[in-house]
Amino acid sequence: MDNKDTDAEIHPLRSHDVKPVVNNEIVGDKNETYKKPNWLSRCRTAAFFASLFLCLIVVFAFSFIIPCPVRPYSQRTWIVQYNRARTYAFLAKEDVNQDNIQDMLFLIKVYAKDDLNVTCEDEGFQSPCFLLTALSGTNGSTLWSRFVAEDVQFVECGIHNLGGLESSCCIIVGIPDSVIAIDSQTGNVLWQNSTGFPSNAVFRNPLLKIPDVNGDDVQDLMIFVSLGAQLQSFILSGKDGECIGQNKSIGIASKDGHYIHSTVTGSHYVLMYAGSTMEAYSVRDLFSRSTNEESNPITLQTDPDWEGHTNLSTGYIPIVPISSSGDVRYLMKVPGKYYNNILVVKSEVSELLDGQTFHSLWSVNTTNILSKPALGNFKKDVLSIMMEVGSGNGRKKVIIIDSNSGTIQWEVEINLGSLNPSPATLNTGDHRSFFLFWGEASQDLNYTEEEI
C-alpha cells in the first residue's frame, strides 16, 4: 500500500515514455529519461513558489510593515512623594487610562502649594482642602488630579452609569454641603450641586444606587443621614445631582447600618439593622416617603415573596435570623445559583439567609469576629468566604468557608499583628483567588495543604 502511494508521488516526475532499462542500454538514452517537466509538475512548482512568496510577505509584513502594539513599560516599583499633605483612608483601583493596567485613585489633604501648581484657593476652596488624584499603575505618573472639597464625608469610585456616562465615576460628598461626580477617566466634573444636608447631619454609609426614578434612564442615588435619633432621606438624580426627594423625618429611627438587596424579580429592598434586629423597607416605599408622591415610577417594584412577610402594624418586613443572639455587624451579598443570598455577620453566630425566603441556609460560630469577611474562590468556581475570629490570648483563627454548604474548607490560627487590616482576596486568571490576611506567624504555624 505504501509503495503504491510513493509510486504515485514519484510518477509525475518521470517521463511517460521512459523505456525500461534493459540490460546494458543505459548509455545514450540519458537525455530521453530526464525530459522537460510536464504541465502537472509546472503547476506544482508554481504553487510552491507562490505559497513561499505569500509566506515571505506575511513574515515581512509582521516584522517590518505592521508596527507592534506599543505596550506600556511597567516599572517594578515606583514612589510618588507629596510634601505637606496628609492621607485620607480611601484608595480605589481602576483602569483610568485604558491601558489594561489598574491605576490608583486616592484622596490627599493638601496643606500648602507645593509641587502642584494650582492651589485650593484657585478652585474656590479654603486651604487645606482635598485633592482627588489618579496615578498611572505602570509608572506612578499623575493622570489627573482635582480639588474636590474642604472636607470629605464620603467618597466612592467605580460607580457606573451616572450622568449617562459609559465609563465609571467617583462621587464625593463634601463638607460644607456639596456633592460632586467626577469622570474617573478624565477627572472632569460631571456634575456638582449642594446636598441640602443639615449642617450637623451625619452621612450614613453606604450610598445606595437605586433604579431610575425620574425617567431619564440613568440610575439614581439614595442617601441617608442621621440627625440625632432620626434618619433623613435624600434622593439625587444620577444624571445631574439634582435633589428629587427629601424627607426630614421618614419615620425610621437611626440605625447602625443599611444594605440594599435586589430580589429575583428585580425589586429593591433596603435592610436596616440595629443591635440584633433587621427590618426591610422597599425602595418604592422609601421613595414615597421621600417625595410624598402617590404614584410610583414603574422601575420601582415590590416582590410578592417579600411583601408576604410585611408586618402591617409596623409597615416593614421584619427579618428574623434563626439565631437572634448577637448584634448584626455586616450584611453582605453572596451570589447563589439563581439569585443573591444575604450573609448576616453577627457578633455570635453568622448565617447565610436565602435572598428570597429568608430561610437559613447554614450558620457558623463567629464569636469575636474581627473584621469584615472577604469573598473569593478557594476551589475553582466555588465561592468561599474568609472570616477572622479572635480565639483569645492575642491569637486569631482565619477560616475559609464554602458558601454553598457552610463547611470549613481551610483554617489556620496565627498571632494577631500590631496592625490588623481587613482580609482581602485577589482573583486569578483560572477562576480561583488568592486569600490575603495579616498577622504574626508563629514558629509552630501548622498549615495544611489540600489537593484542590
Ligand X SMILES: *[C@@H]1O[C@H](CO)[C@@H](O)[C@H](O)[C@H]1NC(C)=O
Among 138, 186, 277, 409, binds ligand X (CB under 6 A): 138
Residue, CB closest to ligand X: 292
Q: First and final CA of the chain: distance in angstroms?
A: 50
Q: Which is nearer to ligand X, 193 or 360 (CB)?
A: 193
- Cell numbers describing residue 313: 402594624
Q: Is 365 in the site for ligand X (CB under 6 A)?
A: yes
Q: Mapping DSSP to helix (H, G, I), strand (E, B) and coil, where does residue 306 land?
A: helix
Report, in Å, the least distance between residue 365 CB and ligand X: 4
Beta carbon of residue 286, minimum distance to ligand X (angstroms, whole number):
9
Q: Are 383 and 337 in contact (CB under 8 A)?
A: no
H/E stretch holding 57: helix 39-60
How far is the C-alpha of 251 from the C-alpha of 221, rounded, in Å? 20
- Give buried/exposed letters for 344-371 (b at 16+ CB in 10 A, else e): bbbebbbbbbebbebebbebbebeebbb
Taking CB under 6 A as the criterion, the residue among 108, 227, 250, 416 binding ligand X is 250
If the CB atoms of residues 192 and 340 are measured against ligand X, the closer one turns out to be 192
> Considering beta carbons, is residue 168 or 247 the nearer one to ligand X?
247
| 363 is a contact residue toward ligand X (CB under 6 A) | no
Q: Determine how β-strand 230-236 pairs with β-strand 243-247.
A: antiparallel
Residues 296-315 that bind ligand X (CB under 6 A): 311, 313-314
Report which of 205, 211, 221 is spatially closest to residue 267, judged by C-alpha positions. Answer: 211
Tell me the C-alpha distance between 95 and 251, whole Å. 42
Judged by CB under 6 A, the residue of 6, 41, 51, 139 near ligand X is: 139
Residue 263 corresponds to which amino acid? T
Task: Pick one of 77, 81, 98, 448: the residue that binds ligand X (CB under 6 A).
Answer: 448
Q: Which position among 41, 87, 141, 415 is part of the footprint of ligand X (CB under 6 A)?
A: 141
> Does position 81 bind ligand X by CB under 6 A?
no
292 touches ligand X (CB under 6 A): yes
Length of the chain: 452
- Please answer whether residues 219 and 161 qualify as being in contact, where contact means their C-beta atoms are separated by less than 8 angstroms: yes
| Residue 402 binds to ligand X (criterion: CB under 6 A) | no
Residue 215 interacts with ligand X (CB under 6 A)? no
- Judge whether 300 and 288 are in contact, CB under 8 Å: no
Query: What is the footprint of ligand X within residues 4-63 (CB under 6 A)?
Result: none
Among 289, 346, 396, 432, binds ligand X (CB under 6 A): 289
Q: Which residues bind ligand X (CB under 6 A)?
A: 72, 97, 99, 117-118, 136, 138-139, 141, 192-193, 240, 242-243, 247, 249-251, 289, 292, 311, 313-314, 365, 367, 391, 446, 448
